Structure 1
Amino acid sequence: MRIKITHTILVIFALLTFSCDDYLDLRPQDGTVRQDFWKTKEDIKAAVIGIYSSMLNSPPSVSDRTLAEYLFMYGELRGDMIAPGPNVIDEQTDVITSNILPSNSITSWATFYRIINYCNTVIDLAPAVLEEDPTLTQEQLDNYLAEALTIRAYMYFTLARSFKDVPLKLEATLSDEDNFQLPVTPQQQIFEQVKIDLEKAESLATEDYGNIPENKGRITKHAINAIQTDVYLWTGEYQNALEAADKVINSGNYSLIVATNNWFNTVYARGNSSESIFEFQYTPQNLNPFYNIFLQRPQFLAAPSVLEDVFGVDYDDPENKDIRGERAAMVPGTNEIYKYTGLNENERKALQNSDTHWFVYRYAGVLLLKAEVLNQLGRGAEALEIIEEIREAREAIQATSQNVNPDNKNAVTDYILAERSRELAFEGKRWFDILRNARRNEYERLDILIAVAINSAPPSQQQSIVNKLQDPNSHYLPINEYELYTNKELTQNPFYN
């Protein structure tokens, strides 16, 4: 069985290394009629594989960071768990210290819109293949459309959380004559479109591709439900969020893996475990970008306080450890981020085997999103039960346990955030978790952002950063100056004017 699964993943995801530029260029040459490509179900499959390829790699003709690098930086650098590494560049340090300018290349959204255009192309052109290829079934087409709709929704969801107001383009760019002059759409409207796409995708998606690598590496109905849980939390639709989370939890497809000697290897180094919902499928033939940025030429480290403040240290019994901390999330002493380079607790992967996945949604993360929902619905006791379930599975130590009144919504929120910081360390969640909870009820919990700023900023910059955070527009990135130059319909985030 193991051999069969390995063969399946190699066949499917080795294809992801090919360039999809030939038929999915963002700005195709005039006279290139891509509609001519869409004749068979194999064409649709190739185009969908191209979407996944674009999520793993930048096209060979494009010099840019990978999507996973952007997801890491957008979700972690402005949080309180990252410190600059010896090979950090000034632009990265500027994001860490909230000194961000529109000229900073990290604010480029080109990778996201390139992927969005690939999705739009499939959504626009694939349905016509039904008339061209009699072997294409409606169910197959629906599954492909669900994948494209979901990935487009996730791209826009990430952009709206990172930049707030962004251009919304729902049609494929098929000609140089297409309109590239698009104004921004308000964040709330972006969220509404994301919900529309996900609802449609859920009705079209499959629950099971028939093998583990595809069930974890492609969009399934439950991956859609996980994203929906997250989205509904951002929009304050708690009953909808609860229903979406329960669809994942009650499916019976996922479970927590209790602490064992090979827990780290199973969940992270190998991936696609029972805790996995959706992961970017790096392979030895298509390596992840993290070996370089975390190990060979480390750009980022765990903040010096993370081991003690997040995971806790039992000074009386050094063997009493939260399994998520030492030699899992990080290496004590050096503060190396270990989650993406380690093979097990004692040894790292070799460079040629640096295939650890990027974890978009994991089961424990959805459980904690449900805890957040329950707390907002006034069901704090049930939220605390979820926290304790996860803590028991991870052997969390007493030093990080909190005695919380279940009726104290703010205290339960803080406990959930603390547990998410342990469970999802360096998985691109921290800043979004903080911002989502801080902005609720007209920034009722701005104190969460202030605390993060004080905790992570150099003393000389703390007051300046705290002052910036008083303006909600500062919580989002600026539009890159290149985008402003090429698209005259854009208006800059007012904080950066």
Structure 2
Amino acid sequence: MRKDIIYSLVLIVALLTQSCDSYLDLQPENGTTRDEFWKTKEDVQAAVIGIYSGLLNTPDSGITIAEYSFMYGELRGGMVDPGVNSSDDQRDVITSSILPSNTVASWAAFYTVINYCNTVIDLAPDVLALDPTFTQEQLDQYLSEALAIRAYLYFTLARTFRDVPLKLEATLSDDDNFQIAKSTQEEIFDQVVTDLTTALKSAVEDYGDNASNKGRITKDAINAMLADVYLWQEDYTNALIAADAVVNSGAGYSLIPGSTSWFTTVFARGNSTESIFEFQYTPENRGPFYGIFLQRPQYLAQASVLEDVFGLDFEDPENKDVRGERVSLVPGTNEIYKFTGLNQDQRKTLQESDTHWFVYRYADVLLMKAEALNELDRGDEALAIVDEIRESRLAIDLTKEQVTGDDKDGVRMYILAERARELAFEGKRWFDVLRNARKDNYANIDIILGIAVKTAPANQQQSIVAKLKDPNSHYLPIYQYELYTNKALVQNPFYK
């Protein structure tokens, strides 16, 4: 990990409706002792708000967690092309021409926010003895939020890099150890499950307002994360239990019927009945999307996405999957539209560009449930979920697959295709492809190779396919600066 991350300040941004009149320095001056750090429950509350602020606007970095999440989850998934303003490093990730010097592989932003979480987890309990108005219940709820966010960040890192350093204590001074070896992906996943199951015990069900319920960690957000990580662990029984906990939580989640207002409700406004956890950007604190998708586009939808993913009915052009044209992308220009549109006719202005980053939506959880059901030999139930989602989204018959519940491979691929339609450009595609490809010791590596054959430039196709046959290539290298500052690190095998 980079030593300089401990000196980062959380920017002057507060989550949700909080005012912007203060800042939080989660790194005390060198020599400050623990009992001089935080003294009141308000200090702890500010620190937790600071964690969310770090998710929205990563200190000391021009790239936010949301943009990294997009790059890690989409650039290698076969649905994104470079835009005219993409960097050489971004283009190299898309074409699997990745070197340890590639800046996309920098994980510093994630470890900065992980350290904020660790600081709350380590120091907040001390405040109980200092502030008689601070209750154990309040402390446990704050710790739940910090644990869950730390878990999600480590989950993202382990899916992206495979083996990464696991640091569970706060970095509070120059004397702390920065020479930390990698833990295996399996160890990271186990720690993620431990953190999430611990967080679940004290998690909030209802904060009392919709923006907080969608923008802060709740029991449903934790269960959505658990379902996700259990799928990666191929623990389908627990994945189903976690997904069902969300579905049956009584929180009022529902699929909004496809219509001309569906896009505006779910994406442009956000925090709908389809929302579980979203990064809450506002007009005062805008996300990166307007710039990277519209003003100076770094990323475009791959040219064949509209036809191959959503389908085109050439006999009836009005027969459209509601998730495709001028929802996920704009035909012709291939502009990624999901994060900049106001409705299907108008884009937001720069001043209005407050579209959230969608970490988990209800349809995502339903499709994770379908995946678990299929792997548990309950394919007919899985197909019923896929049909429910397709009906609500007005999916066209052209993309309907004729599979039966006893065809596990067929249902698996159908769910994967439906996730591409439902979650296009939401940072899910590469992770979905990789999770399915690596099942049963990479029995399905052809999923990855097929994407390469279809999307790679003709003059690079053979070399890209050859690289991707090595599973080590499916994870990013350790950024060269990290190797320089942390001598305990060993480069990912493919990049040595």
TM-score range, shorter-chain basis? over 0.9
Assess if the C-alpha contact under 8 Å between 1:14 and 1:286 holds in 2: no
Q: Give 3-state SS (helix, strand or coil) of 1:13's partner.
A: coil
1:213 matches 2:211: yes
Partner of 2:70: 72
Give the share of equivalent positions with the same residue, in percent: 67
Counterparts of 1:241 and 1:209, CA distance in 2: 26
Kept in 1: contact 2:76–2:96 (CA 8 A): yes
Alignment of structure 1 residues 259-408 onto 2, 5 Å: 259-408=258-407
* Corresponding position: 1:110 with 2:113: no
1:129-150, CA deviations, whole angstroms, 9 ceiling, x for partnerless residues? 1111111111111110000000
Q: CA deviation at 1:58?
A: 2.1
Flag the 1:374–1:19 CA change in 2: closer, same or farther, 3 A: farther
For 2:19 and 2:338, how far apart are their aligned partners in 1? 23
* Superposition deviation, residue 110 in structure 1: 0.3
TM-superposed CA distance for 1:23, in Å, is 2.3
* Selected match of 2:169 from 168, 171, 175: 171
Shift of 1:453: 1.1
Query: Post-superposition shift, 1:30?
Result: 2.0
- Residues 297-354 of structure 1: per-residue CA shift (max 9 Å, x gap): 0000000000000000111111111000001000001000000000000000000010
Unpaired segments ≥5 residues, structure 1: 1-9
Please say if residues 35 and 126 of structure 2, whose CA atoms lie closer than 8 Å, have aligned partners that are also in contact.
no
The answer as to whether partners of 1:85 and 1:300 remain within 8 angstroms in 2 is yes
Unaligned residue ranges in structure 2 (runs of 5+): 1-12
Aligned AA (2:157)? L
Among 40, 60, 63, the residue aligned to 2:61: 63
Amino acid of the structure 1 residue aligned with 2:51 = I
Partner of 2:16: 13
Equivalent position amino acid for 1:13 in 2: L
Summarize the Cα distance change of 1:488–1:74 in structure 2 as closer, same or farther, 3 Å threshold: same
- Aligned residue in 1 for 2:495: 496
| 157-166 or 458-467, which deviates more | 458-467
SS at match of 2:172: coil
Rounded to whole Å, the distance in 2 between the matches of 1:446 and 1:14 is 46
Q: Who is 2:409 aligned against?
A: 410
Q: Are residue 151 (structure 1) and residue 149 (structure 2) matched? A: yes
Aligned to 2:39: 39
* 8 Å CA contact 1:37, 1:43 repeated in 2: no
Counterpart CA distance in 1 for 2:325 and 2:34 is 51
Q: Distance in 2 between matches of 1:323 and 1:18?
A: 42
CA contact (8 A) 1:79 1:456 kept: no
Cα-to-partner distance string for 1:234-271 (whole Å, 9 max, x where unaligned): 00111100000000001132110001221100000000
TM-score by length of 2: 0.95
The answer to whether residue 87 in structure 2 is matched with residue 85 in structure 1 is: no
Match of 2:179 in 1: 181
Report the Cα distance in structure 1 between the residues aligned to 2:351 and 2:148, rounded to whole angstroms. 32
| Cα RMSD, aligned residues only | 1.3
| Letter of the 1:74 counterpart | Y
Q: CA–CA distance in 2 between the matches of 1:46 and 1:429?
A: 31
Partner deviation per Cα, 1:381-434 (whole Å, 9 max, x = no partner) = 111100000000000001111110211111111100100000000000000000
Paired residues in the alignment total 483
Distance in 2 (alpha carbons) for counterparts of 1:317 and 1:470: 41
- Decide which of 133, 136, 143 is 1:138's aligned counterpart: 136
Partner residue, 2:26 = 24
Q: Partner of 2:5 in structure 1? A: none
Q: Provide Cα deviations, 1:165-184, integer angstroms capped at 9, x if missing partner.
A: 00000000011100000000
Contact 1:18 1:53 in 2 (8 A): no
Change (3 A) 1:159 1:352: same
Structure with bigger helix share is 1
Letter in 1 for 2:166: L
Q: Distance in 1 between matches of 2:347 and 2:172?
A: 45
> Letter of the aligned partner of 1:24 in structure 2?
L
* Structure 2 Cα separation of the partners of residues 150 and 348 of structure 1: 34
2: distance between equivalents of 1:339 and 1:128? Answer: 44
Please say if residues 256 and 274 of structure 1, whose CA atoms lie closer than 8 Å, have aligned partners that are also in contact: yes
Letter in 2 for 1:23: D
Tell me which residue corresponds to 2:198: 200
Residues in 2 aligned to 1:287 and 1:393: alpha-carbon distance in whole angstroms: 30
Query: CA 1:71 to 1:35, structure 2 compared with 1: closer, same or farther past 3 Å?
Result: farther
Cα deviation code 1:50-97 (max 9, x no counterpart): 0000000022xx133100000000000001100111111100000000
Q: Could you tell me how far 1:33 is from its partner in structure 2?
A: 4.2
SS of 1:24's equivalent in the other structure is: coil
- The residue type equivalent to 1:488 in the other structure is K
SS at match of 2:164: coil
**Preserved contact between residue 213 and residue 272 of structure 1 (Cα < 8 Å):** yes
Q: Which amino acid aligns with 2:45?
A: K
CA contact (8 A) 2:163 2:185 kept: yes
1:373–1:136 distance in 2 versus 1, CA, 3 Å: same
Partner of 1:431: 430
Cα distance in 1 between the residues matched to 2:140 and 2:207? 13
SS of alignment partner, residue 294 of structure 1:
helix
